[in-house]
Amino acid sequence: MRTFDFTPYRRSTVGFDRLFDLLENSARQQQSDNYPPFDLERLSEDRYRITLAVAGFKSEEIDITAQQNLLLIKGEKDSVSQDRTNYLHVGIASRNFERRFELADFVRVESANLQDGLLTVDLVREIPEAMKPQKIAIGSATPIEEGKLIEQRDAA
């Protein structure tokens, strides 16, 4: 796989460092291990689901950590339970894994479930009220006179 060089864009842009870092890290991850396989789906405008195929793992062998803008999913098998000396063929992967997902701002983990060898992690984007667009009411005032704004008041 060919990597893309973002250096010319880094020189001519300001404030996009995090975006370029994300793209470069994503390209590096794609070149590395693809285990376990996963699906990423958009359920609605602000809801997402990550589904990982983790056959053979129990819920206590999987650790999910959510930090700011990062979701880390680790699977660690007990070395005692991995005795495969009597197997003639081993085709079901059950090795330890670590999967990282970069999350956008204000995306949080809503729930995680393990069923039938599939780990589903539901994500939701919740923008704080202070960050949402707000409708601004327009008041009335008289023109500025000698540097002072004179507000019109109702005489009651």
The overall average pLDDT reported for the chain is 81
Q: Is residue 7 part of a domain?
A: yes
Q: Is residue 22 part of a domain?
A: yes
More confident residue, 122 or 8: 122
Write the pLDDT tens digit of every residue in 49-68: 999 999 889 999 999 999 98
Range of the domain at 50: 35-126
Write the pLDDT tens digit of every residue in 72-104: 999 998 766 566 778 888 887 778 999 999 898
Burial of 112 (0-12, 13-18, 19+ CB in 10 A): middle
Q: Is residue 152 part of a domain?
A: no
Same domain, 27 and 77: no
Same domain, 23 and 80: no
Is 115 within 8 Å of 122 (Cβ atoms)? no
Q: Domain tally for the chain?
A: 2
Same domain, 19 and 42: no
Q: Residue 70 and residue 77: Cα distance in Å, rounded?
A: 23
Q: Residue 40 and residue 49: Cα distance in Å, rounded?
A: 6
Closest CA to 40 of 30, 53, 50, 31: 50
Q: Is residue 107 part of a domain?
A: yes
